[in-house]
Amino acid sequence: MRLIICENYNEISKKSAEIVAAQILLKPNCTLGLATGSSPVGMYENLTAMNLDFSEVTTFNLDEYYPINKKNDQSYYYFMNQHLYSKVNLSPEKIHIPNGSAADPQEECLAYDKAIEENGGIDLQVLGIGQNGHIGFNEPAETLLAGTHITKLTQNTIEANSRFFKKIEDVPTQALTMGIAPIMKAKTILLIANGKSKAPAIKALMHGIIDPKIPATLLSCHPNTIVIVDKEAASLL
């Protein structure tokens, strides 16, 4: 695992955008696994200012709340449209994000895995990390699931995400999330984290133990993971 400690969030954003840009330049028809949340906002800002050609790029997002309509401004589709899709020349048919209004969520999850598989997997997977160590919405548990699945969000995640909502009761309690398998099969993983609240999860990740109750710790088995953090997130290392 390669650890890069940055001065601040701006530096994290610049460096992570450069890594995504390098992937696109090296392989114009690459597949990106993408994350939402506050961590990658600056990365998208830098990336969309680079004038890259996204016309052959395929994207698969990690997760989406369930149920939620994609027009809802709290949906991850809305987030992605605002920060990336509307700003670059991605082909609409190459954009994938779990459908938060699918009538049959199980069927949606199976179809999502099939699409990732048929696409040949993910070249570069961008990840944030939950305060509780979740990746995607693979929440701490006794056992973790390989495939895309519907999951209940933990109280910790609901509280952490309530900052984006008017009141905590508005935070959806379920999500559709990519499982561990496509994340671990990605050729490169880029995890970004900033702020003190992420320090315990980053400490666990860098500690070399594997604990499904801190799902990100699985990444220490991945051969090509880059972790980019600021000084605060690295403060317990």
Catalytic residue list contains 132: yes
Other Cβ atoms within 10 Å of 230 Cβ, number: 21
Q: Using the rule CB under 6 A, which residue among 16, 17, 30, 37 binds ligand F6R?
A: 37
Q: How far is the CB of 136 from ligand F6R (least distance, A)?
A: 4
User: What would the two tokens of residue 152 be?
Assistant: 């209940």
Span interacting with ligand F6R, options 35-43, 47-55, 92-100, 115-123, rule CB under 6 A: 35-43
128 binds ligand F6R (CB under 6 A): yes
125 touches ligand F6R by CB under 6 A: no
Helices of type H across 49-162:
76-83, 105-118, 155-161
Contacts of 81 (CB under 8 A, 6+ apart): none
**Residue 130 interacts with ligand F6R (CB under 6 A): yes or no:** yes
**Catalytic residue among 123, 139, 161, 194, which?**
139
Q: Quick check: 133 binds ligand F6R (CB under 6 A)?
A: no
* 41 contact partners, CB below 8 Å, separation of at least 6: 13, 83
The three-class DSSP label of residue 120 is coil
Report, in Å, the least distance between residue 51 CB and ligand F6R. 25
The catalytic position among 134, 138, 161, 230 is 134
Q: Which is nearer to ligand F6R, 77 or 137 (CB)?
A: 137
Beta strands in the chain (DSSP E): 2-6, 31-34, 58-61, 63-66, 95-96, 124-127, 149-152, 174-177, 188-193, 225-230
Q: Which residues contribute to the site for ligand F6R (CB under 6 A)? A: 35-39, 62-63, 128-130, 134-137
